Amino acid sequence: MGLHWLLKFDLHRLILALAVLGVLATFGNSFYAIYQAQRQLLIANTLESNRVYATKLAASADSMIQSAQGQLAYSASLLAPLLQGDDAQALDGEVNRLRLQTSTFNSVVIVNREATIVAVSPETLQVKGAKLSSPTALEAIKSQQPQITDPFVSLSGNYLISLSYPIFSADKRYLGYVAGTIYLQSTSILSSLLGQHYYQDGSYLYVVDREKTLIYHPDTKRVGHKIKGNPAVDEVLKGDDGSLDVINSGGTEMLTGFAPVASTGWGVVAQRPRSATLEGLDEHMSGVLMQMIPTTLFILFIIWLSATFISRPLRQLANRASLMDQQGAFSNIAGIRAWYFEAAQLKQAILKGLGLLNTKIDKLHNDSHTDPMTGLFNRRAIQRLLDEYLVEPKPLSVVALDIDHFKKINDSFGHDVGDEVIVALAQLMQQEVRSDAALCRSGGEEFLLLLPNVTLVQAQGIAERLRLKVASHEMGSAGCITISLGVAHWSSQQDSDLGAVLKQADKALYEAKRQGRNRVVVEI
């Protein structure tokens, strides 16, 4: 007895331990999956936001460059007659107008075709009259095309980029160019456009030229430095936009979006530290954890409560298995609630053993009352049904039917085809009659329909519909066949027994055959 209770106690604890372990594992896995999903979502959203942000700023920078080129183009059209007339005062006035009208340029110069500066604004630069020899200046004169230079140090010592536009006379002679400069290490239109987008969480953006040189950076000391080993810079200078997870020059992992400036070949890169993106994740997951804990504790309580009863089915099965030879054993065992797989399997095995004998008995009973070919009732079943109808008397209509010229079908096509015709006819009969009707194969090609609570007129209609349906149905190799039917009716008030109505139906069937077959005859 002590060992019995010890084993029960151990099984209970084992079930409880496994259940708790499963819940905790599921809890941990769910929490980890939520964490990973939130983490990836934050990273993906940041990468996409930086890409879109870089694309917008690149478009703004491109629009700014296009606008600046337009200003230079307009000024170039005004400067042609002034250069030809060597009107120094007018030239000074135009460069001042061009510089002061907007905040686009930090300085403006006019250079003649001999590479000499003929006008400059502001004059504090003190480069008027200087002859330029830099490759960028000479290239602008040589190409006679609008240009945007790479960063360089000017004669006045400023680190800048220059936008130039050629000046032509009315007769298309090249006269020189007008150039506007944008300073890279001091306040300029470029710093105004990009500098307002600096954030306190470590996010920032920078711009590189075609040679990977920084032309804008929040830290002005970095301007002019070349970027090496940065895949985002490599991609954007190919003309692609996108996003990448990169390590910056300071060793910080950054979520980077980038986009090219179409008109200049520059690249705009916006980035945010990964740590800043994920900074609030731990706090968010702590909130999720606090929401999950009460539910998990409640589940664990339910498991503990349920585990108390899980071992009960085994004990009940063991006790009642010893009473299997008694009346009602099957229902007693079937009433046991199996709480887990092993108990359910054991219960099923016991019930299966009990039910095996009943199944065999039922099968023998069914075989003795069922026609093996068609699955319909046989003559023995007919008598059982008639006895049941007598216990609770009810009106009964009987339809006896026979396949016309069935011997000819067997002789012409063989008995296999004849069997197929019989099976097909049985299936048609099952489709036609009501669910409470009984279909019987009373002989080789002879059948009976027992129709309780059906009047004689209704039975005649059923028989006629069946006759027409059979006549129009292809019976495989045998083609179309016909049947003859006899209909009779028995009322519960009649003195005669039910056997008499079967004889009346047979008599009507015989009369249908005598009258030429393929017809319904009613015995009144």
Active site residues per annotation: 445
Show Cβ contacts of residue 413 under 8 Å, excluding neighbours closer than 6 positions: 477, 478
Which residues sit opposite 449 in a β-bridge?
Answer: 399, 439
| Alpha-carbon gap, residue 382 to 389, rounded angstroms | 11
Residue 277: Cβ-neighbour burial (10 angstroms; 0-12, 13-18, 19+): buried
Helix (H, G, I), strand (E, B) or coil at 134: coil
| Alpha-carbon gap, residue 185 to 301, rounded angstroms | 68
CA distances 169 to 82, 441, 449, 459, Å, are 10, 116, 115, 114
Amino acid at 109: V
Whether 412 and 405 have beta carbons less than 8 Å apart is answered as no
SS (H, E, C) 332-393: HHHCCCCCCHHHHHHHHHHHHHHHHHHHHHHHHHHHHHECCCCCCECHHHHHHHHHHHHHCC
Residue 175 sits at the vertex; the CA angle it makes with 172 and 181, to the nearest 5 degrees, is 120
